[in-house]
Amino acid sequence: MPISKAFSKIVLFSALLLVASCATSPSGERSASEPQSSDHQVKYHYALEAMKQGQLESAEPQMLALTRQHPHFAGPWLNLCIIYTETARFTEAEKACQQSLKQNGKMNPARNQLGIVYRRQGRFEDARRIYQMALQQNPEYAQVHYNLGVLFDLYLQDRDLAIEHYQRHLDLTGNKDKKVKRWISQLNKELARASQGPAR
């Protein structure tokens, strides 16, 4: 696998998740029993904006304060997990993602992010397991299919499954991702060469 190909996939893989997770509104992440809190929403909005601008040093204390003031809200835990992941603090990231899932078991973006944490630690089978759990809850979660494609392609060396998940990602996102199309084409060529056996 060319280094440039691997790097481009990992960068895209991280960036897509950061935007998707940060865009989630706090109200959508609460259980029905959690109270409305306009103050919480304002603080959460500013913390998300800091994350979107890449200002993680500014966003971190804001998210951390929200988890202390409102520990039962899943969203701040998830975004704190993203911050820890992006700053290579994987033990803290794993705990934050688990807290997000504890507060809201339907928080599938937390499973998606936890898969990144496991992958960054070299825990590839754990990453596979948590992604598959996410797909059990939502088989049409396009980002998880993308991430599984990356996992099978770059780390587990399973071209067939990589193609399957890349293609599912394309199907769910309007077949518009030209990079993923190129990766599928390259993988198909590699499979064709492998089936022909060694050159004589």
- If you ran DSSP here, which 8-state letter would residue 196 be given? T
The CB density around residue 65, as the number of other CB atoms within 10 Å, is 13
CA distance 135 to 9: 21
* Residue 187 and residue 153 in contact, taking contact as beta carbons nearer than 8 Å: yes
Beta carbons within 8 Å of 21's beta carbon, 6+ residues apart: 78, 79, 82, 109, 112, 113
Q: List the CATH code of the domain at 3-141.
A: 1.25.40.10
Lookup: tokens for 30? 């609460």
Walk along the chain (200 residues) and give the pLDDT tens digit of each residue: 433 344 334 333 333 333 333 333 333 333 322 334 577 788 888 889 999 999 999 999 999 999 999 999 999 999 999 999 999 999 999 999 999 999 999 999 999 999 999 999 999 999 999 999 999 999 999 999 999 999 999 999 999 999 999 999 999 999 999 999 999 999 999 999 988 866 55
Matching residue, tokens 């050159």? 199
pLDDT tens for each residue of 51-75 = 999 999 999 999 999 999 999 999 9
Residue 128 CB partners (closer than 8 Å, separation 6+) = 115, 148, 151, 156
157-160: list long-range contacts, CB under 8 Å, 24+ apart.
159/187, 159/190, 159/191, 159/194, 160/191
Q: What is the pLDDT of residue 196?
A: 82
Whether 50 and 58 have beta carbons less than 8 Å apart is answered as: yes
State how far the Cα of 150 lies from the Cα of 118, in Å rounded to an integer: 13
DSSP string, 15-84: HHHHHHHHTS-GGGGS-TTSPP-HHHHHHHHHHHHHHHTT-HHHHHHHHHHHHHH-TT-HHHHHHHHHHH
Distance CA 104, CA 77 (A): 10
Show me where the domains of the chain are located: 3-141
